[in-house]
Amino acid sequence: MISLNSSYFSHFILAGYLDIRFKHLIFFIVLLYYVLIIVSNLLLIVVICMNRSLHEPMYLFLCSLFVNELYGATALFPFLLTQVLSDIHSVPRSLCFLQIFCLYSYASNELFNLAVISYDRYLAICFPLQYNTHMTFKKVATLTASAWFPAVFFTSVMIVLSSSLQLCGNIINKVYCDNYHIVRLSCGDITANNIYGLFATTLTILVPLILILFTYVRIFKVCFSGSKQTRQKALSTCSPHLASLINFSFGVCFEIVQSRFDMSNVPNILRVFLSLYFMACQPLFNPVIYGLNLRLFKLSQSPKIEKIIL
């Protein structure tokens, strides 16, 4: 039953910007950080695209990962830059749901991309002789599409369900639009949202994690039964991926904790940092961690390119 006090809100108010100080300094820091993300990800994408020796499955999957970093960062940082300088932190309803779509599809796609990369490493380490036979160009395209399509599809359905809710408020206690907080503002029946949220979360989080767990169990099994050289090669190949996965997982955990639990006693700046971590740190962390492991991607075969990146 819908409350008589419910109404249609054309704007949402972001309460996370209360007590903001040193606007211009924060604006400069955020802008510099965003520029670093753009430059680092674009540089690695250009290197992969321009060098024929890197037109291999591993690098193409990494290219998809870097494109997703640019996509997620662009959905967040220009919005933050605008809001930091603004005195009225209100967001049009349509723009708010657009940002939710971009951020949620980015997060889902990130995990699917990491699952695809782990599968690629599984084939390369456990079946090295059959790798080129299994990992054809058609399969690379299929796996890349399978990382993007579920993220876009499930997020689109979520937006349709959330945008049709009757709301009794329009204040979001964050610095960006968030679907969970909008659903909490509803004074109608949210059963469908909760059921779908559980279903979508299972498919977009649990399924990729199970695939990643399976691949690493098999990789570690090969490592322990193989030679020291095999273990070193596997470790050097998988370490950037594991570092990226751990960093992203911690960020998601931070977001869940600060959204689902009462953190009113925690300083506002810390709550903001926790809510932004997995969306702000991951887009710069990935190009840095992979850039620092150029030899792991055989970029040493092209000294000129390695010199440019370093």
SS (H, E, C) 220-231: HHHHHHCCHHHH
Rounded Cα–Cα distance for residues 180 and 165 (Å): 12
Residue 55: predicted pLDDT: 83
Give the residue with greater pLDDT, 6 vs 287.
Answer: 287
206: CATH: 1.20.1070.10
Domain span including residue 145 = 17-309
Mean pLDDT check: name the lowest of 96-100, 176-180, 187-191: 187-191
261 within some domain? yes
pLDDT confidence of 266, banded at 50, 70, 90? confident
Is position 203 within any domain?
Answer: yes
Task: Say if residue 307's pLDDT is above 70.
Answer: no
Is residue 11 in some structural domain? no
Q: Is residue 185 part of a domain?
A: yes
Compute the Cα dihedral for 249, 82, 156, 272 and give only its sign: positive
Q: Which residue has the higher pLDDT, 147 or 301?
A: 147
Model confidence, pTM: 0.88
Question: Band of the pLDDT at 111, cuts 50, 70, 90?
Answer: very high
In a domain, 6, yes or no: no
Cβ(168)–Cβ(3) below 8 Å: yes
The tally of domains found in the chain comes to 1
Question: Looking at the domain assignment, is residue 2 inside a domain?
Answer: no
Q: Residue 2 pLDDT more than 70?
A: no
pLDDT at 309: 39
- Is position 8 within any domain? no
Sequence letter at residue 221: K
What integer pLDDT is reported at residue 56 of this predicted model?
Answer: 85
What one-letter code names the amino acid at 39? V
Average pLDDT of 285-305? 62
CB atoms closer than 10 angstroms to residue 100: 23
DSSP letters of 68-85?
HHHHHHHHHHHHHHHHHH
Most confident of 7-11, 53-57, 139-143: 139-143
Task: Determine whether 110 is exposed, middle or buried from the number of CB atoms within 10 Å of its CB (0-12, 13-18, 19+).
Answer: buried
Mean pLDDT of the chain: 84
